A and B are shown apart, each in its own frame.
Chain A
């Protein structure tokens, strides 16, 4: 992209970060009353809201019922005011449907669905402000919301996007970096065992670089998991204090 240097000679990115530095993550759990679990997460300037209902009876078509596990229903949508240009079709378009499917697959790998046969867990994620890394912010927010709802999971699910510029992996890209052309790899990881829940990359990458990129992505996700863990412990402390002895 003419004029925009994603990585300067001194190793600084457009917003002043180093190549392995993540954006600031701030999150709060239990923000809504009606939902069983909810979380609000800010990753840099991307704001995601996740709400979980369940486990409850399967609604809608009875054909969806699984006799041995819970069905997970995910819906991803963006607020019309979340992008610089007003988004005319916030849900139902192909990108949103694809994201919803990815989220569903990610959480099916993490949630212990065999504990809730014949029931349904709904995960709704909404992006209120979009500045790159939408999928990662959604997964991180949804993890916190599922924990807030008390639904057991194998591990935290942490996600991060990484790019590759000038032979250097860039962790946690914002919108300008994502649209600058070049590789975008999204990784959702279960950090303790190093297990990959979802891996997606659309762009060309030489296979020699794949290992470096994967390493960088895993390190970034582990960084995210530390932040999420801190948020959960903080929330628990506050709740314990509020409910008394």
Chain B
């Protein structure tokens, strides 16, 4: 057992390859198997909506805070959503404190793109009065424990937190033009589409594995994230460089992503149902 562990530290690539040859992975998973996903919706009561998602060891917490503001001048009938992904030093020993890590910033931009392209929420729904008042939703996604596959976990956390979000009713007093917030009358936001991501890692242009762990990500020759919605449409595809991938393999990945979408939606719906009771 000790010898095995030294092999893992001394030559991690060979260690992983020896498993991949047998069509399995060091943690016992199949090549296209996701890690166990657990979901905790609404743990933080100070936030308008919150969710804690764990995919294997990777844990991500998303908190939604809603504020009132004036709509942007170029889109006076829409509110807006501001996502922010944070990887604090507590999530992994490789991150140090200081300005946000580039991985966190890249993830923030990716989530912003997914929100835009998938139309998870119709921004018109966030507008209270055209040109005067709208909601801005600050989605703060915080990684608490990093073991690979950050993007998938962030997307599920964001979706679950948005489903949990309750916004109070706001009316504008006609005489004084001042908004009046009724905290007792809360209603959930309307979720338009449900995007779910699936991440893949490629080894040597040949073997594709699903849901890479931290070790597997650092050893892979390419990584890719696919985001699909419930109608089977592709919302986003993120493949930052790395080795080339054939079109046929890509189609196979899209199929796997669609299956994953169904699995996760079932889980989210089940948790939300159990919370209503």
Which A residues have a C-beta under 8 Å from some C-beta of B?
A: 32-35, 45, 47, 49, 51, 53, 56, 59-60, 75, 77, 79-84, 86, 91, 122, 124, 126, 128-131
| C-alpha spacing A79/B46, complex, angstroms | 11
Q: Which one of B114-122, B137-145, B170-178, B228-236 is at the A interface?
A: B137-145
Given contacts A49-B144, A81-B47, contact A124 B61 (CB under 8 A): no
Count of chain B residues with a beta carbon within 8 Å of a chain A beta carbon: 30
* Residue with the greatest number of chain A CB neighbours at <10 A, chosen from B43, B46, B93: B46
B44 touches A (CB below 8 Å): yes
Inter-chain contact A130/B46, CB cutoff 8 Å: yes
- Asked if B67 is an interface residue, CB under 8 A from chain A, the answer is yes
Interface hub of A81, A82, A91 (most chain B Cβ within 10 A)? A81
User: Are A32 and B140 in contact, CB atoms less than 8 angstroms apart?
Assistant: no
**Which residues on A sit within 8 Å (CB–CB) of B91?**
34
Please give the distance in Å from A167's CB to the nearest CB on chain B: 33
A19 to B146, CA, bound (A): 42
Q: In the complex, what distance in Å separates the CA atom of A77 from the CA atom of B44?
A: 16
Q: Using CB atoms and an 8 Å cutoff, list the residues of chain B in contact with chain A.
A: 43-47, 50, 57, 59, 61, 63-65, 67, 84, 88-93, 96-97, 138, 140, 142, 144-147, 214
- Are B65 and A81 in contact, with the CB atoms below 8 A? yes
Residue of A34, A56, A75, A126 with most partner-chain B CB within 10 A: A34
The 6 closest A-B pairs by CB, nearest first: A81-B63, A124-B90, A81-B47, A51-B90, A33-B57, A86-B65
Partner of B44, one of A34, A81, A122: A81
Distance between B141 CB and nearest chain A CB, rounded to angstroms: 10
Check B145 against A75 for contact (C-beta < 8 Å). no
**What CA separation (Å) do A47 and B59 show in the bound complex?**
16
Chain A residues with CB under 8 Å of B67's CB are 86
Do the beta carbons of B142 and A124 come within 8 Å of each other? no
- Please report whether the interface of chain A is mostly helix, strand, loop or mixed according to DSSP: loop
CB contacts (< 8 Å) of A32 on chain B: these are 57, 59, 144-145
B96 touches A77 (CB 8 A): no
For the complex formed, measure the closest distance between the CB of B149 and the CB atoms of chain A, giving whole angstroms. 13
Which residue from A34, A47, A59 sits with its C-beta under 8 Å from B92?
A34
Known: A60-B96, A126-B88. A82 touches B57 (CB 8 A): no
- CA–CA, A91 to B96, complex, Å? 14
Q: In the assembled complex, how far is the CB of residue A102 from the closest CB belonging to chain B, in whole angstroms?
A: 17
Q: Closest residue of chain A to B214, judged by CB? A: A34
CA of A75 to CA of B97 in the docked complex: distance in angstroms? 9
Q: Which of A60, A79, A86, A130 contacts B61 (CB 8 A)?
A: A79
Chain A residues near B61: list those with CB within 8 A. Answer: 79, 128
Beta-carbon contact of B44 and A53 below 8 Å: no
State A91–B144 Cα separation when bound (angstroms).
16
Complex CA–CA separation, A61 to B57 (angstroms): 31
Complex Cα distance, B46 from A2, in Å, reads 24
Q: Which residues of B contact A53 (CB under 8 A)?
A: 93
> B47 touching A33 by the CB < 8 A rule?
no
* Contact yes or no, B147 A33, CB < 8 A: yes
Bound: A128/B42 CA distance, A: 12
Q: Contacts A53-B93, A59-B96; is A34 near B47 (CB within 8 Å)?
A: no
Residues of B within 8 A of A130 (CB): 46
Bound together, the chains give a CA A47 to CA B40 distance in angstroms of 15
CA distance A130 to B146 in the complex (A): 24
Taking a contact as CB atoms under 8 Å apart, the answer to whether A80 and B65 are in contact is yes
A47 CA / B142 CA spacing, docked (Å): 15
Q: A34-B147, A60-B96, A128-B61 are in contact. Are A81 and B89 (CB under 8 A)?
A: no
Task: Given A33-B145, A35-B145, verify A81-B90 contact (CB < 8 Å).
Answer: no
The answer for the CA separation of A79 and B142 in the assembled complex, in Å, is 8
Q: In whole angstroms, how far apart are the Cα atoms of A8 and B228 in the complex?
A: 57
> Which residue of A33, A80, A91, A122 is within 8 Å of B138 (Cβ)?
A80
B90 in contact with A126 (CB, 8 Å): yes
From B46, B57, B84, B96, contact of A34 by CB (8 A): B57
